[in-house]
Each structure stands twice: as structure tokens, then as C-alpha cells.
Amino acid sequence: MLKKVVYPDRATWPELIKRPVQEYETIEEQIKTVFNQVRDNGDKALLDFTAQFDKVSLNSLLVTPEELKVAAEQIPQELQLAIRQACANITAFHESQREVKFPIETMPGVRCWRKSVAIEKVGLYIPGGTAPLFSTLLMLGIPAKLAGCQEIVLCTPPRQDGTIHPAILFTASLLQISTIRKVGGSQAIAALTFGTESIPAVSKIFGPGNQFVTVAKQMAGKYGVAIDMPAGPSEVLIIADETANPAFVAADLLSQAEHGVDSQVVFVTNSEKLLSLVEESLKEQLNNLSRKAIAAKTLTNSLGILLKDSTEMLAFSNLYAPEHLIIAVKEYEQLAEKITNAGSVFLGEYSPESVGDYASGTNHTLPTNGYARVYSGVSLDSFVKKITYQHLTPQGLQLIGPTVEVMADAEGLDAHRQAVSIRLKSLSHV
């Protein structure tokens, strides 16, 4: 069960918030080899690596229209409705993020504004592994479509029979994403980086993955391809007081723990009684999980921390900077206002992390490993770049010109000054 830490001294907190060190360096050489092979041999390398790593022999990486049709027929009506509802909520939330062009006049005759322009080509990586993450396809595909990305390339690993999970294909069809390729792992990231005969090169890559995918995404950056954010194992921190329902808290801890054995689970409370009750509930609920072995192993590396009061709990959470933060205390709104570092926050007894993972509308692609101190989760902004504009009237240049001339002189940039002076001179003769 959870490792108990009772009233730790603040001097020990930096040690408590440490995540397990990811030994990425040990696999970098392997990833370099994959990148070189894909760059040099294209689709042939992808098919070879799929046979080697996924143990699947393919003749083609393409998903055919017939496969999409069959997938739709395999999805139960209940799941189709659920995916459509989640799609509607996620669309509504991300649609609200559109930036309205708002020109301002910084001084008479000097007008400035900013415009959002879609990244033209983006790659979406959707893991197939132990859980086919069609929900992640919703989280990435919807803002990509809303942003207006011209080319959206979906890569996802095939199953043992050479097919893609039908829920992923159904979701892709729902989002009208038609460029779908059967390839996973670091080789998929390499393909999106360089391009192959069947996979277009993209400008930015999105999506979670294992340590090989994580290192591959970092390597893609060395070739001028952007990525959504640094990634690591998924994590949750729960702040709860004596008013919290222990069964609810245990369920939320387990929902994170079942992601994978490297998931990070932290429970912070000021109630010794609640800590004991949560531990009892964890044992009871754990036995009913299909991924019991994974969740149980995760919990052995997880923390149950008893702190003095809400002030300490808040301070610890902000220091930890969790990907997911659940606040299950009586005065959750007051505490929420003081949160400075978190990927996504869930307030009150009836806001489980699961709703954000699937269907509330917020995005579940979030910063991990403490990166919530400086990174935001994926949003509509992730799929656009911001271009600034300015327009000066003759009056505007006459007003601002002398300021620029003085500053250019001070930096010794004569041509910068001249670009203004020559225009001011021409205006003086009008």
C-alpha cells in the first residue's frame, strides 16, 4: 500500500517530490539507429521495425476505407454515443479558446495586433499498448481540426492481427482524419520527423508514449520538429481533509495507479483518520480491478503524506506541481484560488479525474514530472502560432520615429536608424 510519511519537516519536501529518474540515456543510441534507418530506408525500415518490435508482419502501413467501415460496425452503439458526447464537450471547451483579433493603437497612428495561424502539418501519436487511447485522439484531433491544420497525420501501432483497434478508427472517422498509418514506437516519431513514402513529414508532433517514444520526441526536436511538451509517467496528487469520502479518494488514487507501474500517486491530508480509512478502501477496491497487478505495484511506490493543515497541503502541492490535482476539502474554492502549479485541477467530491480524462471538455494531455511549473496542457493554442502585425500612418511614424532613432543610435545600429530617418525626411518634404 501507500508509503506513509507523517508530518515531514519542510527540509525533506524536495526529496519527497522527486519523481523516479528516467534512464533515457541508455536507449538514446538505439533511437538514433531507428532514426537513421527510417531516414535512409523509409517505409521498408518501418515495416522491418514493426516486425521486430511489435511482432507484426505487414505488407502496407495504410489503413484502408474498408477497414474504417468495418471498425464502425464493430463499435457498440453505447460506446459510439459516449464518444460522440465526449467529442461535443471537448469541442465546446476548445472552441471557446479562439482568440479574437483585437487591434490596439499604442500611440496615435501606430496600430498593432496579433493573429492566430494554424500549424499546417501536425502528427498525432496514439499508443495502442495495454490500453487503446482513443480518448487521446479526441483530445488532440479536435483542437487540431478547430485550429485549421491542413494536414493531420495519425500514427498508431497495429495489434497482433495487423489491425488498428476499432475505437481508434471510429474516432478518427468521426473527426474526419483520413491519413492513418499502422506504425508505433520510436519508428513512428522518426517517420513523422523525416517523412517516408507513405507518411508525410510534419512540423509538430503530439501525443503520449513509453520511454522510447519520449526519447524519440526529444530527438525529433534536434531535427527542427516541435513537440507538444516533455512527457513522463502520468501522475495525480489528492488534497483531502476530514470531510472527504475515503472511498472516493481511494477510487481516484487507483484510477491513476492502473495507468502503469511507473505512474505517480500522492495523497496529502491533514487527517490521520482519513489516511487510515483510505488505506482500507484501497485494499478493498483493488481486488475488483482487472489491472490489479499494475495498480498494486504502483501503490507500493506511492505516498500517503500527513501534514498539519491546509496551508501546508497547499504549499506541498504547489512544490510538487502535479499533472492532475484533486482538491477534496470543505473549502475547496478558497484553496483552488491559491494553486500556482498544476496541469488540471478537479474541485470537490464529485469531480473525479476520470471525467477530465474522457469527457468533461478539458484536455487530458498535460505536463508531468514537475513541468506544470512552466508548461500548460494541450489547448487550441498548441496547434497555432501567433503572428504579430503593425501598421503605421505617416503621423504615427513621425511620432514614434525619433524614439527609434535614439534607441538605434545607442545600440550602434546605423541602418536601423536610417530606415526610419529616410522616411521621416521624405515626409518633411510633403
**Pairwise CA distance, residues 252 & 354, whole Å:** 8
Q: Is 416 annotated as a binding residue?
A: yes
DSSP secondary structure of 35-90: HHHHHHHHHHHHHHHHHHHS----S--BPPHHHHHHHHHHS-HHHHHHHHHHHHHH
Q: According to the model, what pLDDT value does residue 211 have?
A: 87
Q: According to the model, what pLDDT value does residue 132 have?
A: 85
Give the tens place of pLDDT for each residue, 97-144. Answer: 998 889 999 999 999 999 999 999 999 999 986 678 999 999 999 999
Q: Is 125 annotated as a binding residue?
A: yes
Which amino acid belongs to residue 178? Answer: S
User: Considering only CA atoms, which of 193, 210, 320 is closest in space to residue 259?
Assistant: 210
User: Considering only CA atoms, which of 54, 225, 66, 74 is closest in space to residue 156?
Assistant: 54
List 239's β-bridge partners, or say none: 268, 327
Q: Is 210 annotated as a binding residue?
A: yes
List 174's β-bridge partners, or say none: none
Q: How far is CA 186 from CA 35, 237, 336, 381, 388, in A?
A: 8, 30, 38, 26, 36
**Pairwise CA distance, residues 380 & 94, whole Å:** 6
Q: Is 94 annotated as a binding residue?
A: no
User: Considering only CA atoms, which of 300, 382, 292 is closest in space to residue 20?
Assistant: 300
Q: Is 242 left (phi over 0), alpha (psi -120 to 50) or beta?
A: alpha
Q: Is 357 annotated as a binding residue?
A: yes
Decide: 249 and 261 in contact? Cβ < 8 Å.
no
Decide: 322 and 346 in contact? Cβ < 8 Å.
no
Using 50 as the pLDDT threshold, list the residues of the chain that sit under it. Answer: none
**Pairwise CA distance, residues 138 & 90, whole Å:** 8
**Pairwise CA distance, residues 295 & 54, whole Å:** 24
Dihedral sign, CA of 336, 143, 214, 121? negative
Predicted TM-score (pTM) of this structure: 0.94
The grid coordinates listed for 358 are 474522457
Q: Is 222 left (phi over 0), alpha (psi -120 to 50) or beta?
A: alpha
Give the tens place of pLDDT for each residue, 144-166. Answer: 999 999 999 999 999 999 999 99
Question: For 124-149, b where at least 16 C-beta lie within 10 A, e where not — what string?
Answer: bbbbbeeebbbbbbbbbbbbbbbbeb
Q: Is 259 annotated as a binding residue?
A: yes
Q: Is 29 annotated as a binding residue?
A: no
Decide: 157 and 125 in contact? Cβ < 8 Å.
no
Assign 357 to helix, strand or coil: helix
Q: How far is CA 376 from CA 114, 324, 363, in A?
A: 20, 12, 10
Domains and CATH numbers, the chain: 3-18+232-361 (3.40.50.1980), 25-111+118-227 (3.40.50.1980), 393-428 (1.20.5.1300)
Q: According to the model, what pLDDT value does residue 130 have?
A: 62
Question: Which residues are catalytically annotated?
Answer: 323-324
Q: According to the model, what pLDDT value does residue 26 have?
A: 83
Q: According to the model, what pLDDT value does residue 79 have?
A: 97
